[in-house]
Amino acid sequence: MSQFNIEEEIEEIAGGEFERVPVPQSKLKGWKSFLGMYAGEHAAGTEFMIGPLFLTAGVSAFDLIVGLLIGNLLAVLSWRYLTAEIAIKNRLTLYFQLEKICGKKLVTGYNLANGILFCFLAGAMITVSATAVGIPFDMPMPKLTDTMPNGFTWIVIVILIGAVISIIAARGYDTVSKAANYMSPIIVLAFIACGIVALSQLGVHSFSGFWDIWGKGSEPFPGQIKFTFWHVVIWSWFANAAMHVGMSDLSVFRFSKNASSGWTTAAGMYIGHYMAWIAAALLYAVYLKSPEALTFLSNGQAPPVAPGPLAYNAIGIFGIVAVVLAGWTTANPTIYRAGLAFQAIFPKLSTVKVTILAGSIATIAGIFPAFAMKLLGFVALYGFILAPFGAIIVFEHFFYKKARITKNYAEVAGLSFNKSVFWAWVISFGIFYFISIQFNVFLSFVTLPAWLLCGILFIVFSKYFQKKQIKLFKKTQ
């Protein structure tokens, strides 16, 4: 029996998910297995926040409707022709693929960054659920510019929600995924209902009336930046940069029979990142016409973006339930994934313990509304930090033969820290983050240049360091 078969059997006996071996043919799945997953995962808590935030950025009708159409298409193409394509060739998780290229020590740094960013994202979703749970208690909602908690009631509700979510996530992925599958159709239905009711409340009865809601756009609210057509296109393309060009979804598509399953991501992009974002934006458009919102605006303040009250205003109790479930179904798997990232750093800790650790960090983050209220900026930062690691995998996969470098060099050479990867990421990150800060360039605009530079530098550095290593080896012979 070959070493591959032995390791494969160990994985199956241990109840694993083939974390350190390629997925065998017998475990491959057809495109239908991915369709529901992507539709559900991308119509969730983040959508209730992102839709209204587009309006605070003063988008026009054309910018929003056409920009999202194009940006989401670019995201689908990235999944199909990069992530899924590479996934079916190697059938490895992102973490194991990176370990082969980068070495264990460098991957530890990646896992730490990944885990912390996952916790912050989960914290934002706990914030989303809290805005719904707080309605019966007449809790003051966080404002768009709030960074600190606004009262004791808010803190208690966030802690209780975080505790429940963390405990459920700690029960394992089966519990998390089953719950999400049951709840996803309810959440999608809620978004559709919210959109229809909001259109009625706005008095819209034709497409021209729908178009006129945003018209030519407006000035951004206080503390927000103005979103143009290109902001919408590029941001929506890279909203999931860590998953597609960042290669995180190698872990998903390694189970696919063929790369065409990558097209199923369109269900998530156009149900969640198109329909749901626009439906949530419509809810906020209704609220902006209310006396409360007009008072905020007349005082030069940004009206609050609290998903709970927005959904409750449209569809009542069902809206509260939908927002709670939407935040829950996003935070739960996110906390679970963060726990796995931490477990790679602390392998002696049980899955339950690392998941509770991740949940605790997420809950603390959720107490501070800034993560949710600045979600557009946070998602841009998240993709900017992690996406370039995906460029390492992409450029090695497509160009290692032409560049005449050794594939999976850390594994072949026995390295725990591949300097080619480290310097490629540090230089690309440093240059473009400096440009973003120094010249006030929207971070999503520099994600693609940073990604490309990281990949190119990785190839250049690999040629240099590998050639140098060969010379040293020959000298010692």
Domain boundaries, the chain: 32-387
Q: What is residue 174's predicted lDDT score, i.e. its pLDDT?
A: 60
What value does the CA radius of gyration of the chain take, rounded to a whole number of Å?
A: 23
Q: What is residue 4's predicted lDDT score, i.e. its pLDDT?
A: 38
- Between the CA of residue 409 and those of 14, 75, 96, 289, 423, what are the distances in Å? 29, 29, 13, 59, 15
Instruction: Give which of 197, 204, 191 is closest to 61, Cα–Cα.
Output: 204
Q: Which residue has the tokens 């259109």?
A: 199
Tokens matching residue 172: 């394992």
Higher model confidence: residue 178 or residue 266? 266
Q: What is residue 325's predicted lDDT score, i.e. its pLDDT?
A: 85
Residues 6+ positions from 293 with CB-CB distance below 8 Å: 287, 303
Higher model confidence: residue 6 or residue 262? 262
Higher model confidence: residue 238 or residue 27? 238
Tokens matching residue 222: 């206080």
Q: What is residue 234's predicted lDDT score, i.e. its pLDDT?
A: 97
Spatial contact of 371 and 378, defined as CB atoms under 8 Å apart: yes
Q: What is the mean pLDDT of residues 162-187?
A: 75
**CA-CA distance, 301 to 258, in Å (whole number)?**
51
Q: How confident is the model at residue 287 (pLDDT cuts 50, 70, 90)?
A: very high
Q: What is the 3-state secondary structure (H, E, C) of 243-262?
A: CCCCCCCHHHHCCECCHHHH
Q: How confident is the model at residue 335 (pLDDT cuts 50, 70, 90)?
A: confident
**CA-CA distance, 161 to 169, in Å (whole number)?**
12
Strand partners, 256: 29
Tokens matching residue 215: 């018209």
Strand partners, 29: 256
Coil, helix or strand for 456?
helix
Q: Is 468 left (phi over 0), alpha (psi -120 to 50) or beta?
A: alpha
Q: What is residue 472's predicted lDDT score, i.e. its pLDDT?
A: 58
**CA-CA distance, 359 to 357, in Å (whole number)?**
5
Angle of helix 32-41 versus helix 173-201 axis, rounded to 10: 60
**CA-CA distance, 195 to 406, in Å (whole number)?**
53
Q: Is the pLDDT of residue 469 over 90?
A: no
Q: What is residue 408's predicted lDDT score, i.e. its pLDDT?
A: 94
Q: Is the pLDDT of residue 131 over 60?
A: yes
- Between the CA of residue 21 and those of 103, 106, 243, what are the distances in Å? 16, 20, 21
User: What single-letter DSSP state applies at residue 218?
Assistant: -
Q: What percent of the chain has pLDDT over 90?
A: 55
Q: Is the pLDDT of residue 475 over 70?
A: no
Task: Write the pLDDT tens digit of every residue in 413-446.
Answer: 999 999 999 999 999 999 999 999 999 999 999 9
Task: Write the pLDDT tens digit of every residue in 28-45.
Answer: 888 888 887 788 778 887
CATH class of 32-387: mainly alpha
**CA-CA distance, 75 to 265, in Å (whole number)?**
8
Q: How confident is the model at residue 150 (pLDDT cuts 50, 70, 90)?
A: confident
Higher model confidence: residue 128 or residue 10? 128
Task: Write the pLDDT tens digit of every residue in 215-260.
Answer: 888 889 887 889 999 999 999 999 999 999 999 888 889 889 999 9
Q: Which residue has the tokens 């993560």?
A: 371
Q: What is residue 305's predicted lDDT score, i.e. its pLDDT?
A: 87
Q: What is residue 328's predicted lDDT score, i.e. its pLDDT?
A: 79
Task: Write the pLDDT tens digit of every residue in 291-306.
Answer: 988 998 888 888 888 8
Spatial contact of 57 and 220, defined as CB atoms under 8 Å apart: yes
Task: Write the pLDDT tens digit of every residue in 56-105.
Answer: 999 999 999 999 999 999 999 999 999 999 999 999 888 889 999 999 99
**CA-CA distance, 137 to 7, in Å (whole number)?**
54
Tokens matching residue 477: 């012979």
Q: Is the pLDDT of residue 474 over 70?
A: no
> What is the overall mean pLDDT for the chain?
87
Q: Is the pLDDT of residue 7 over 80?
A: no
Q: What is residue 156's predicted lDDT score, i.e. its pLDDT?
A: 94
Q: How confident is the model at residue 9 (pLDDT cuts 50, 70, 90)?
A: very low
The total number of residues shown for the chain amounts to 477
Tell me which of 81-90, 309-318, 461-470 is least confident. 461-470
Q: What is residue 14's predicted lDDT score, i.e. its pLDDT?
A: 30
DSSP H stretches of helix in 148-172:
152-170
Q: What is residue 262's predicted lDDT score, i.e. its pLDDT?
A: 95
Q: What is residue 352's predicted lDDT score, i.e. its pLDDT?
A: 84
